[in-house]
Amino acid sequence: MLFNQMVEHKPMTSDSLDLVYAAIADPTRRAILSALAQQDRTVGSLAADFPISFNGVSKHVKVLERAGLVRRRVDGREHWLAVEPTRLEGASRWLDEYREFWEHRLDALEAILVDERKSRAQARAQAGRGRNKQKR
């Protein structure tokens, strides 16, 4: 018997964003997502790649499923996992809203640092010229 859940594509709400960011905050869950991005895997084969128990991996997978980042397909006794990229896209769109703000701020910081470097270089050059004049 083959079972496949239908995935509903709903807009990202604050709650679903919280679930996504909480899920990807953990390095083990990010590693699980990376492994699943390469290919669909069974829970057992995925668990074999991690230095934690099968139950530990299974709990991490459930967090990813609740966040909508992973979908499960049951084929007989095997549970196949796959990445569901839609939720990551929604989280990425949310970050993109702030990208212009931080890029502008980083550009301004870069300009300040470049000016500061130039000022220091000019001060060193003037100090070097002053020492050369004193030696004469």
Is 7's pLDDT higher than 50? no
pLDDT at 97: 82
The stretch 70-97 carries a mean pLDDT of 91
3-state secondary structure of 121: helix
How far is 4 from 55, CA to CA, in rounded Å?
23
Residue 118 sits at the vertex; the CA angle it makes with 112 and 124, to the nearest 5 degrees, is 135
Q: What is the mean pLDDT of the chain?
A: 84
Q: Give the C-alpha separation, 22 to 36, whole Å.
A: 18
Q: Is 107 a member of any domain?
A: no
- pLDDT tens by residue, 62-82: 999 999 999 999 999 999 999
Residue 84 burial (CB count, 10 A): 21
Q: What pLDDT sits at residue 4?
A: 37
Does residue 131 fall inside a structural domain?
A: no
Task: Indicate whether 136 belongs to any domain.
Answer: no
Looking up residue 8, the CATH number of its domain turns out to be: 1.10.10.10
> Quick one: pLDDT band at residue 60, thresholds 50, 70, 90?
very high
Query: Dihedrals φ, ψ of 80, to 5°?
Result: -95, 140
What is the count of structural domains for the chain? Answer: 1
- Look at residue 117 and tell me if it is in a domain: no
pTM: 0.65
Percent of the chain residues past pLDDT 70, beyond the cut? 85
55 within a domain of the structure (yes/no): yes
